[in-house]
Amino acid sequence: MVPCLSSGAVIAGVLTFYLLIVRGSTDGFLSTGQLIENHGHQSYSKHSVITEDGYIINLFHIKGQGGPPFLLLHALMGASDQWLLRDGDHDLPSILVNSGYDVWLGDFRGNIYSKKHTHLNVSDPEYWKFSIDEWAYYDVPAMMDYVCNNTEYDKMYLVTYSLSSAIVLATASARPEYNDKIIVSYHLAPFLAFTNIKSLLLRIGIQFGEFYLAISRSIKNHELFSRNHWTMNSISLFCNKKSIFLKACVTLLSEFFGFDTSGNSTMDLDFKLTYSRAGVSLNSIDHLLQMIKANKFQHYDLGHNKNLQKYGRPKPPEYDLRKVTSPVVLYYSKNDRVVDSGTIHKLISVLPNVYQTIMIPHNKFGHIDYAFNSNAKTLVFDSVINIARQFRIAPIHQQYGYYYY
């Protein structure tokens, strides 16, 4: 049955579509560093990492008490600040640091914190010629190498959310040597190409996706979902707690993603939504739409001739998930309208080392509740700590009998 949406929800939906391509300044929002400080962590640092193909990407480091490092990777269109939208008692980075772990927050190329290159300018169309493949092949390995080179450990825990799950699995498939650097990877609502999307609105958006991309290409807009002053004000106007459109905003989010409206997810909704978009390349969205339509977890389809040049075949190859040999933990929920249980079951059947599968014990917990809902601490994050303790490792110098004083 097609859900009946209010006129306010329709208006909000139209506004959401318009906000995809609008540009502007980013004054007025708190950066990842400022959010970290607001959570009570003064001992943090920002790091620039150069990838093999010349992109300069960002890592934020919150120093723990010497425990093994955690690398946290954001969802599609998001950034590292996506992990810091609650208070210090309920957000995963603080929970990990307070438990003694080192925490690193990564930003993929093209988002608001990672828009530099060794010789390309962000205004150069050439800069934006990357897809999900480049995030997987270059960005994740560069982050992992940097963390290993700047801690006393040669392995780390990885936490992914939504599409970053697919990115890490693609990394472990395309560059299987990086499995050896993963203690265990946690996949919160892993979004892969073969998911059965329940959201009617999202399915409609996917159907018209190529049309949206064509408009962006025609106006030479290579970046989508940028964070800017105009969108921040619009979100605040329509989704603040006093807005007459707040109910429509909540309805729209619930239909798009699955949203626990019974809890505290709607608290400061306009603030949280501001951080749900931080810039992404048009090619990355194009790549995602290709995979969903083909129902295959595959490389970017460049067209017949370019595929022959790059892949040696007319069609792009699929990522071989059987090469993901490192331990994997999968999280999913009943009210997730983006990732269904079928996705989890398929991953279980293909991945060779699924350590644990966890269904969130809350019927209304949805796709965006991992980032928005304070109940995620007890429903999700506490288990991250418990599982990490089952995979304890020693620093490199202890492994080989050397000690630092």
Whether 340 is a known active-site residue: answer no
Contact 304/314 with Cβ under 8 angstroms? Answer: yes
Torsion of CA 167, 358, 354, 386, to 10 degrees: 100
* Triad 132, 138, 144: Cα angle to 5°: 115
Beta-bridged to residue 168, according to DSSP, are none
Q: What is the pLDDT of residue 393?
A: 80
How many separate helices (H) and strands (E) can be counted in the chain? 18, 11
Contact 118/81 with Cβ under 8 angstroms? Answer: no
**Residue 347 to residues 65, 166, 194, 308, 328, Cα–Cα distance (Å):** 34, 11, 10, 29, 10
Strands 280-281 and 223-224: antiparallel
Mean pLDDT by 10 residues, the chain (405 residues): 41 41 52 93 93 97 91 95 93 95 97 96 94 98 97 95 97 98 97 84 84 85 83 79 84 86 75 89 94 94 95 96 98 94 95 97 93 93 95 70 32
**HSE of 152, CA atoms in CB hemisphere, 13 A:** 19
Q: What is the pLDDT of residue 265?
A: 66
Q: What is the pLDDT of residue 399?
A: 55
Catalytic residue among 165, 367, 369, 374: 367
Whether 74 is a known active-site residue: answer no
Whether 367 is a known active-site residue: answer yes
Catalytic residue among 94, 162, 165, 326: 162
Catalytic residue among 81, 107, 301, 336: 336
